[in-house]
Amino acid sequence: MLNYKKLIFAPLLALSLFFNGCTETETETTTTESPSPVAAESPAESPATEESPAAESPSETEAGAEEIDLSAIIGTKAEGWMPKALADYKLKEDMTPEEAAKEIAGAEAISEFGFSEVKVEDVPGIQKYEFYFAKDDSGKPTQLKNVTLVFDPALKSKVSFEEMAKALSEKYGEVEPDEIEKGIVTWSGPSLSIAQLTKGTNDFEGYEFEIAVPE
């Protein structure tokens, strides 16, 4: 005789196990770790901003030296033999050191060889003036003969020797190409006066323009 209770219970047990299995699977699926929230994501990098260009370092001229005007130093032919930078001083040939010092203070501080130097601060482009006094009959250096304009060495990086010579040629006369090549340019003036431009003793010294003082 069949056991009806077992026939009814067996399918019910199978269905119960089936549904329990589904429920556990759903639970496992539900409890699976969810992805990190959007807030946890690393933020998008902000677009690179262009760096502001570094401030350009001022040129030597802007850094302290004023703009050099050669025409203000040399002057024109119509303004006479002496460079414009010296024209306002009444320098004359054979002046004593003391007389020259009345025009340019410091000119009297001569060496035993008759040279003196005066630093220049009011003419951009000129470093100093050099004076030469020849010896008198007693052997003392008392007679002014030449004055040299020693230019600022920094000028060499802005003006070539050739450009310097041509600037002076506007006042003192034409320049020969071979003189420029040799680095020594000479001009003749009134009463056989001489003016001469040289490169300086070395690269660390400025151009030198030596000129005979007029009578």
Query: Could you tell me if residue 54 is inside a domain?
Result: no
Give backbone dihedrals phi and psi of 141, rounded to 5 degrees, phi first. Answer: -75, 95
Query: Could you tell me if residue 190 is inside a domain?
Result: yes
Query: Could you tell me if residue 36 is inside a domain?
Result: no
Q: What's the half-sphere exposure (Cβ side, CA atoms, 13 Å) at 51?
A: 3
What mean pLDDT is reported for the chain? Answer: 79
Query: Could you tell me if residue 94 is inside a domain?
Result: yes
Q: How many domains, the chain?
A: 1
Give backbone dihedrals phi and psi of 156, rounded to 5 degrees, phi first. Answer: -60, -30
Q: How confident is the model over 110-132, as a mean pLDDT? A: 96
Q: Taking every pair of C-alpha atoms in the chain, what is the biggest distance, in angstroms? A: 168
Strand partners, 150: 128, 208
Q: How confident is the model over 11-34, as a mean pLDDT? A: 45
Query: Could you tell me if residue 41 is inside a domain?
Result: no
Residues 165, 166, 167: CA angle, nearest 5 degrees = 90
Per-residue pLDDT, 22: 45
Query: Could you tell me if residue 5 is inside a domain?
Result: no
Query: Could you tell me if residue 176 is inside a domain?
Result: yes
Per-residue pLDDT, 148: 98
Inform me whether the pLDDT recorded for 135 exceeds 60: yes
Query: Could you tell me if residue 33 is inside a domain?
Result: no
- 120: containing domain: 70-212
DSSP code at position 183:
T
Q: What does the pLDDT look like over 146-195, one tens digit per residue?
A: 999 999 999 999 999 999 999 999 999 999 999 999 999 999 998 889 99
Work out the pLDDT band at 66, boundaries 50, 70, 90. low
- Cα of first residue to Cα of last residue in the chain, in angstroms, is 161
